[in-house]
Amino acid sequence: MDRELALELVRVTEAAAVSSAQWMGRGQKDEADDAATTAMRTMFDSIAMEGTVVIGEGELDEAPMLYIGEKLGNGNGPEVDIAVDPLEGTNIVAKGHNNAMSVIAAADRGALLHAPDMYMQKIAVGKQARGQISLDDPIEKTIETVAKATNKRINDLTIIVQERPRHEELVERIRAKGARVKLFGDGDVEASIATCLPHTGIDLFVGTGGAPEGVISAAAVKCLGGDMQARLVPQNDEEAQRCIEMGLNDPKQLLTHHDLVSSDDAIFAATGVTEGELLHGVKFLGGDLAETDSIVMRAKTGTIRFIKANHHMNNKPHLLNND
């Protein structure tokens, strides 16, 4: 993988973001997702790579495009695994809320965990606490560990948790320990990334969410020098069997950061769809102009680029709303 591929992947997330942003606030989450997926798939055809989707929109019989196993790129370039979420936050866009993004992670062939679409328990921290966390530790011990690593008092820590009934006990324990809790609705990729960026003020991400998003997050956290661990949470025998078919003899084994992303190199690209703490949303400037705000990172070099771009949509028919 190289710098050129990283920058090309941003073009893909930009296309998906602009296309899906046109559905912001319309209450139609499926249409927004379809728009992002179609735009992303179209742009992939121009990328110089031999890509294989390992995390996408579903199995072949579930998704017409960006399905697991689909080949992407023009065939002239590096062999890479691709994990995509064309629109992380379909409900966010439908309701006009904050923090929806279009995201892509890429790594060397075979380097990304082929996570099935099921629940995953996750924990993520920035570089200061790298190598010091364990998903097996009680949350109270983890809070103490992160406080020491970041040189903060416990009552100054901010821990981000998805606002779901399954996390109510976890939130109570965090508060009882004395740390602050920041709740969010959807979009746990951005929540994981926030732990690695000092300006967000987030020290720890913990909770249970989607496994595909967990692998995408792991690639981003690796690019930023942070740390992440996870554990799949199968809900039935069928999901447990899928884990075994992935090569996990113990479906509930602890997955280290290396298990999630085994290569030392990874690329993460994201473009904001709606306003967020990490990225601004797409702005339609009048006429045929749209402005995007993106981030692209590469683990091997540690490079982080924030990219603001203007797009002439009349030159890209797939970005246009055909209403």
Question: pLDDT (tens digit, 9 = 90+) per residue, 264-279?
Answer: 899 999 999 999 888 9
Residue 61 confidence class, pLDDT cut points 50, 70, 90: low
Taking the C-alpha atoms of residue 53 and residue 67, their distance in angstroms, rounded to an integer, is: 7
Q: Per-residue pLDDT for 48 more than 50?
A: yes
Q: Are 266 and 299 in contact (CB under 8 A)?
A: yes
Binding residues for Mn(2+): 33, 57, 85, 88, 213
- Listed in sequence order, the residues at least 6 apart from 194 whose beta carbon sits closer than 8 Å to its beta carbon are 160, 200, 202, 205, 277, 278
Binding-site residues for substrate: 88-90, 119, 164-166, 186-188, 210
Side chain identity at 19, as an amino acid letter? Answer: S
- Mark the binding-site residues, compressed into ranges: 33, 57, 85, 88-90, 119, 164-166, 186-188, 210, 213
Mean pLDDT of 85-113: 94
Residue 163 has pLDDT above 90, yes or no: yes
Q: What is the pLDDT of residue 50?
A: 94
Order of all β-strands in the sheet with 227-233? 180-184, 158-162, 204-210, 119-125, 227-233
Task: Return the minimum-mean-pLDDT range out of 86-90, 216-220, 285-289, 314-318.
Answer: 314-318
Instruction: Of 46-55, 145-154, 192-201, give the range with the top mean pLDDT.
Output: 145-154
User: Is residue 162 within 8 Å of 185, Cβ to Cβ?
Assistant: yes
Contact 26, 91 (CB under 8 A): no
pLDDT at 60 over 90: no
Please, which residues have CB within 8 angstroms of residue 42's CB and are 6 or more apart in sequence?
15, 318
Residue 323 confidence (pLDDT) above 60: no
102, pLDDT greater than 80: yes
User: Quick check: 5 pLDDT over 50?
Assistant: yes
Q: Fill in the amino acid letter for 60.
A: L
Question: pLDDT value at position 274?
Answer: 96
Contact 274, 283 (CB under 8 A): no
Please state the three-class secondary structure of 139-179 as a single string: HHHHHHHHHHHHCCCHHHCEEEEECCHHHHHHHHHHHHHCC
Q: What does the alpha-carbon distance between residue 321 and residue 223 come to, in Å, rounded to a whole number?
A: 34
- Please, what is the average pLDDT of the chain? 92
Domains of the chain (ranges, CATH numbers): 3-109+265-319 (3.30.540.10), 119-260 (3.40.190.90)
